[in-house]
């Protein structure tokens, strides 16, 4: 039986990063993958969706070229070519992971992996042949998939999940998006920008419900301005796919409404991939669809670990990567500290983009903090105005007593690249006054961070 120091089950951004770090630390490492290296994120999630969104953004620029003093005749799109470009980007990234596996001398075990007692994994290839491997440490990183609701069964044709939404053979004229988390609003923006008539149905009172309420309201205004219909506090109770398209019965605060569309995209969350991987045979404990782990991702069975979407933390690619690195560094005997889940940035890549870290204003008040709140709109930013992206704002929340940066919330162009300033500052326990005295370059979108902090301390200059 082939043996390793570490076997990683799953090659998404949690799995492959974990394997690379393990190899860097001198551990003989293998990774098991049943589909394409890179997992859902590289092949069907984070990366290809960003390629689609970029095409939508460029198309939007072309349609509004005259606003920039330019003339473009008959700007049009080729939906098939847009999808093909997205797949090319994904394929290129997957090949990049293959290169990284070779570079770091990680053995790739292609097939479906199943855990066995005694720190073993059996891998069944496409030919049905099974091979068993042993390891001192086995790390589960099998990720998640689109969640199906009983009243929204996915048939892959008229009621679809995010995976199918990236590879539709034909652009729909009308689409219903159920759920307004990151996946829902990103696809809503993409299809609307491409010319599809889009309706978003959200069960809770606000879209992107995990965000600060002011951010949610701003995104709703921006979406409505773009022609997206928003239905909040609403629930799809029934779908009928017997006709040409789909008919959705929606329960709203004003009564029942029937929506008709070509396609309904179910974006109501994710389901962890913990079935049929041997958890029961090994005796690994789970709770509410998640594998139970300690601060260093050890399960209840010695030698077995779990990271990423299968664990209780946020289901984000960068979280899975951070957890995997911490896990193997602990295995290698390094001194590591548990991950601070209160300082994890969240990013949504619709237009305008949304980014946040830390407490919302409501959460801070509910926790009993006396707070200072500052807000700076991009309409007052020279760079934002010159770029044609004046929608949105930066909002900061500080503890009034000690100056601790409790939360930062952004909506606007490029804010997913700006949020890291707040993450690093909070990690270093930076105060509001220190941000104020850190010179920010002009003209940039990032000045809005400094200006929002200045607003919190009644020192704002450009507002």
Give the pLDDT confidence of 205-233 residue by residue, as tens digits: 999 999 999 999 999 999 999 999 999 99
- Contact between 428 and 404 under an 8 Å Cβ cutoff? The reply is no
- Residue 8: band (very low, low, confident or very high) from pLDDT cuts 50, 70, 90: very high
- Residue 43: band (very low, low, confident or very high) from pLDDT cuts 50, 70, 90: confident
pLDDT, residue 240, reads 95
Residue 384 has pLDDT above 80, yes or no: yes
Q: Which top CATH class is 159-268? A: alpha beta
Return mean pLDDT, the chain: 95
In CATH, the architecture of 352-456 is 2-Layer Sandwich (3.30)
Q: Which two tokens stand for residue 443?
A: 């003209």
Average pLDDT over residues 262-276: 95
Q: What is the DSSP letter of 339?
A: -
Is 64 an annotated catalytic residue?
no
pLDDT, residue 107, reads 97
- Residue 41: band (very low, low, confident or very high) from pLDDT cuts 50, 70, 90: confident
Annotated active-site residue in 335, 389, 440, 442: 442
* Every domain range in the chain assigned CATH 3.30.390.30: 352-456
- Measured CA to CA, the distance from residue 427 to residue 411 in angstroms comes to 22
pTM of the model: 0.94
* Every domain range in the chain assigned CATH 3.50.50.60: 2-145+271-341, 159-268
- The DSSP result for 192-204, as a single string, is HHHT-EEEEE-SS
- Contact between 179 and 268 under an 8 Å Cβ cutoff? The reply is yes
The kind and range of the H/E element at 423 are helix 420-427
Q: Which two tokens stand for residue 237?
A: 């109770």
Give the pLDDT confidence of 130-142 residue by residue, as tens digits: 999 999 999 999 9
- Contact between 378 and 415 under an 8 Å Cβ cutoff? The reply is no
Proportion of the chain above pLDDT 70, given as a percent? 100
CATH 3.30.365.10 fits 2-145+271-341, yes or no: no
Handedness of CA 122, 141, 51, 174 (dihedral sign): positive
Inter-axis angle of helices 317-331 and 15-24, to 10 degrees?
Answer: 30
pLDDT, residue 432, reads 93
Residue 15 has pLDDT above 90, yes or no: yes
- Measured CA to CA, the distance from residue 407 to residue 44 in angstroms comes to 31
pLDDT, residue 45, reads 83
Find the DSSP H helices in 120-181. Answer: 162-165
- Residue 42: band (very low, low, confident or very high) from pLDDT cuts 50, 70, 90: confident
- Residue 170: name the closest of 160, 183, 180, 179 by CA: 160
Average pLDDT over residues 67-76: 90
Residue 73 has pLDDT above 80, yes or no: yes
Give the pLDDT confidence of 120-129 residue by residue, as tens digits: 999 999 899 9
Give the pLDDT confidence of 89-105 residue by residue, as tens digits: 999 999 999 999 999 99
Q: Which residues contact 352 (CB under 8 A, 6 or more apart)?
A: 218, 219, 222, 389, 391, 392, 411, 412, 413, 415
Q: Cβ of 286: how many Cβ atoms within 10 Å?
A: 16
Residue 341 has pLDDT above 90, yes or no: yes
Give the pLDDT confidence of 368-381 residue by residue, as tens digits: 999 999 999 999 99
Residue 1 has pLDDT above 80, yes or no: no
pLDDT, residue 380, reads 96
Proportion of the chain above pLDDT 90, given as a percent? 92
- Measured CA to CA, the distance from residue 137 to residue 155 in angstroms comes to 39
pLDDT, residue 39, reads 86
- Residue 428: band (very low, low, confident or very high) from pLDDT cuts 50, 70, 90: very high
pLDDT, residue 440, reads 95
Average pLDDT over residues 23-34: 97
pLDDT, residue 151, reads 86
Give the pLDDT confidence of 349-360 residue by residue, as tens digits: 999 999 999 999
Average pLDDT over residues 247-259: 96
Average pLDDT over residues 444-456: 96
């Amino acid at each position: 039986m082939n043996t390793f120091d570490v076997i990683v089950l799953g090659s998404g951004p949690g799995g492959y990063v974990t394997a690379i770090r393990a190899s860097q630390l001198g551990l003989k490492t293998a990774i098991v993958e049943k589909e394409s290296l890179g997992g859902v994120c590289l092949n069907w999630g984070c990366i290809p969706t960003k390629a689609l969104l970029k095409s939508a953004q460029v198309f939007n620029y072309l349609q509004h070229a005259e606003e920039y003093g330019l003339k473009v005749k008959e700007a049009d799109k080729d939906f098939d070519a847009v999808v093909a470009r997205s797949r090319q980007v994904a394929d290129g990234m997957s090949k990049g992971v293959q290169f990284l596996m070779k570079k770091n001398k990680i053995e790739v075990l292609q097939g479906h992996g199943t855990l066995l007692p005694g720190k073993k994994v059996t891998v069944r290839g496409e030919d049905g042949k099974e091979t068993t491997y042993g390891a001192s440490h086995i790390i589960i990183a099998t990720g998640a998939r689109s969640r199906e609701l009983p009243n929204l069964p996915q048939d892959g044709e008229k009621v679809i999940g995010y995976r199918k939404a990236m590879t539709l053979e034909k652009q729909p004229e009308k689409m219903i998006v159920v759920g307004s988390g990151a996946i829902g609003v990103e696809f809503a923006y993409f299809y609307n920008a491409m010319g599809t008539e889009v309706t978003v149905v959200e069960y809770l009172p606000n879209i992107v419900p995990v965000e600060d309420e002011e951010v949610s309201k701003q995104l709703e205004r921006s979406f409505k301005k773009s022609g997206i219909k928003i239905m909040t506090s609403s629930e799809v109770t029934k779908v009928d796919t017997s006709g040409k398209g789909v008919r959705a019965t929606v329960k709203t605060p004003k009564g029942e409404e029937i929506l008709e569309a070509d396609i309904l995209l179910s974006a109501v969350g994710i389901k962890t991939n913990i079935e049929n991987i041997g958890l029961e045979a090994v005796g690994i404990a789970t709770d509410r669809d998640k594998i139970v782990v300690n601060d260093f991702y050890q399960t209840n069975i010695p030698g077995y670990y779990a990271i990423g979407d299968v664990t209780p933390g946020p289901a984000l690619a960068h979280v899975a990567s951070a957890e995997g690195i911490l896990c193997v560094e602990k295995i290698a005997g390094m001194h590591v500290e548990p991950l601070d889940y209160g300082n994890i940035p969240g990013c949504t890549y619709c237009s305008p983009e949304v980014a946040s870290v830390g407490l919302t204003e409501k959460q801070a008040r509910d926790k009993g903090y006396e707070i200072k709140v500052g807000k700076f709109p991009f309409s007052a930013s020279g760079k934002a105005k010159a770029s044609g992206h004046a929608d949105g704002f930066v909002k900061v929340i500080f503890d009034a007593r000690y100056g601790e940066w409790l939360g930062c919330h952004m909506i606007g162009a490029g804010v997913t690249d700006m949020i890291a300033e707040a993450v690093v500052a909070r990690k270093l326990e930076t105060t509001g006054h220190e941000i104020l005295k850190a010179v920010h370059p002009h003209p940039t979108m990032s000045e809005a961070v400094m200006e929002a902090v200045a607003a919190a301390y009644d020192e704002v200059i450009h507002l």
